[in-house]
Structure 1
Amino acid sequence: MAPVLPLALPLQPRIRLAQGLWLLSWLLALAGGLTVLCSGHLLVQLWRFRTFLAPSCPFTALPQVALAAGAVALATGLVGAGASRAGLDAAQYPPWRRVLGPLLVAATAGGGGLLALALALALALPGSLATGLEEGLGTAMAHYKDTEVPGYCHAKRLMDELQLRQHCCGRHGYKDWFGVQWVSSRYLDPNDRDVIDRIQSNVEGLYLIDGVPFSCCNPHSPRPCLQTRLSDPHAHPLFDPPQPNSNLWAQGCHGALLGHLQGLASTLGSLLAVTFLLQTVVLLGLRYLQTALEGLGGVIDGEGETQGYLFPGGLRDMLRTAWPQGVLGPAPEEAPPEEAPAKEDLPEA
């Protein structure tokens, strides 16, 4: 059987390979650790803004899978550093010789699969984040007034904190507050004619005004904040020209949160790509080093000719060797060669 992708590895190339693998393994451990930190930070941010994200949004799966993939990559880097260091020391290599093969299989199947899945999620899921924030912010704004309703009593405080900290107003702008009732009903006088007219003029029975909560005001504005009658250009005659929205946050909270979370996801995706590349190189190098040393019977400083390879034989050869073991059933019987007809003895002249 001819090995797959063989590579001749005499003594000096084996030493250089082990030394390079030791360095790359520590780089892999560093990349895995950074992936764990970045995915953990994104997970904390998603938990912090969970009120403004739809529960059905699948984006939360990205940091969870990336966290597991980073932890496996970190462990693979540490194992690779120890194995490559043992490949230079005849006293340390015998214990590694028995477990290095199973560790390579586990790291390739588990770590490689998790990293590939995390990379796929990093490419596919950011698009669902916009939809999840659209739905979540709409729900939070609709329950802004429900300060005494169980389950929504903190909606007002969380929405105010979001607008103050992220410097945003509404879902896409301050006018989004015009379409929801954000004033609690306990502050409305049921006998006031204006309140009655506003409620009766709305098909859903909501009290809608052209105003915004105080958290939409920009404290750095040089003039007092205008919160009410923002759609009436003649309501504030002292301001010339009338620009009632100039002291409000111009950006919507959807854009602010989307940019923040997608920036974290982009950084995480770059780390996952670097980690995947490093893990591939380290696992390939360890496989070549292992097979080269196995060809010498585990002798570290053997001077004999040896070669490393990925698999001991090609696919056809591996299938042939699997037949007698019953994996693919019995091998087909070959027809015996036809015997040539016997020549008749001719009488001698």
Structure 2
Amino acid sequence: MAPVLPLVLPLQPRIRLAQGLWLLSWLLALAGGLTLLCSGHLLVQLRHLGTFLAPSCLFPALPQTALAAGTVALGTGLGGAGASRASLDAARYPPWRGVLGPLLIAGTAGGGSLLVVALGLALVLPLSLDQGLEEGLGAAMGHYKDTEVPGHCQAKRLMDELQLRYHCCGRHGYKDWFGVQWVSSRYLDPSDQDVADRIQSNVEGLYLIDGVPFSCCNPHSPRPCLQSHLSDPYAHPLFDPRQPNLNLWTQGCHQVLLGHLQGLASTLGSMLAVTFLLQALVLLGLRYLQTALEGLGGVIDGEGETQGYLFPGGLKDMKSAWLQGGAAHKPAPEEPPPEEAPPKEDPPEV
């Protein structure tokens, strides 16, 4: 059966192929390292912001898969650089002849599939961030008051740090705080008529006020920050609550975090695409170099032309061919039939 995609490689193209593969392999190792850095950075960000994501959100699977894909790409790049450099020296190449087959299979089946999955996740999972942040931020704001409840006692500190660090307030704006009880019950006096009226004024029995936590205030503003009675036009004569002049952060945390995490995911997706392209080029080049050298017995500067190819006799022979070194299996020449011994001549009679 004819080889798949054969390519004739004389001496100089073989040498240029090995030299170009050495450069591409180092570029692949660099891209794999950058993918590791991008995915690690996104994992660290999610470790800090995981409180504000719904548990059902699958977005953390993206950096985890990209981390594995970057590791395989880094290993493939380093292995390809070593193999392509060794192929230029007939004395150094023999140890690599048994390594190239498993390297090509691991890079194609393992690294290729991981990169494809990670690229798919980079395209799909950022779309699930919207709903995940919507639910996660709502839960975090609802537990803001639970400073003495086990499992939620850090919710207030984390929410305050989020709003101060990312210059945001509430889920979509400062008015979101009007619909949740964010004041702890330990600071409320049940005997106070105003407190009792506010608790009885809603079905859920919450103490709701038209105010925001201190972390919604812009500390760099030269004017005092208004935190309470924000919906009362007569409470602050010098300020109009209908205008953004309250010295509060104007953006909601949902939009800020959505843009931040989607930006990191976009950067990681770009790195994954570059890594995938480089890995495909390196694996194809290594395969052609491997099969070409097998035709010359492992000597790159052997005399004559040789032929490189992807598969010796079709796609079904890929695994066995790559593991065994890549040369097309040629039928063994038939041994010539043994020559019959000439008949012995009788000695002449005396």
TM-score if structure 1 supplies the norm length?
Answer: 0.89
What per-residue deviation string (whole Å, max 9, x for no partner) do you get for residues 206-258 of structure 1? 00000000000011222100001101111111347974753100000011111
What per-residue deviation string (whole Å, max 9, x for no partner) do you get for residues 147-189 of structure 1? 0111111110110010000000000000000000001111111
Distance 2:177 2:33 in 1: 43
**Backbone CA RMSD of aligned residues:** 1.6
Tell me: CA distance 1:278–1:91, structure 2 relative to 1, closer, same or farther (3 Å): same
Contact 2:15/2:300, CA 8 A, preserved across alignment: no
What per-residue deviation string (whole Å, max 9, x for no partner) do you get for residues 17-66 of structure 1? 00000000000000000000100000010011111111111000000000
Contact 2:31/2:274, CA 8 A, preserved across alignment: yes
Tell me: CA distance 1:151–1:220, structure 2 relative to 1, closer, same or farther (3 Å): same
Query: 2:216 maps to what in 1?
Result: 216
Query: 2:110 maps to what in 1?
Result: 110
SS of the residue aligned with 1:307? strand
Q: How do residues 239-318 of structure 1 correspond to structure 2 at under 5 angstroms?
A: 239=239, 243=243, 245-314=245-314
Q: 4+ runs of 1 displaced by more than 6 Å?
A: none
Contact 1:53/1:132, CA 8 A, preserved across alignment: yes
Distance 2:89 2:30 in 1: 24
Distance 1:267 1:141 in 2: 30
Q: How do residues 42-61 of structure 1 correspond to structure 2 at under 5 angstroms?
A: 42-61=42-61
Query: 1:238 maps to what in 2?
Result: 238
| Alignment pair present for 1:161 and 2:177 | no
Query: 2:22 maps to what in 1?
Result: 22
* Structure 1 stretch displaced more, 263-272 or 98-107: 98-107
Unaligned runs of 5+ in 2: 321-350
Distance 2:7 2:231 in 1: 76
User: What is the percent sequence identity of the aligned residues?
Assistant: 85
Displacement of 1:315 in angstroms is: 5.1
Contact 2:32/2:71, CA 8 A, preserved across alignment: yes
TM-score if structure 2 supplies the norm length?
Answer: 0.88
Distance 1:311 1:71 in 2: 27
Query: 1:184 maps to what in 2?
Result: 184
Distance 1:242 1:283 in 2: 62
| Alignment pair present for 1:38 and 2:38 | yes
Unaligned runs of 5+ in 1: 322-349
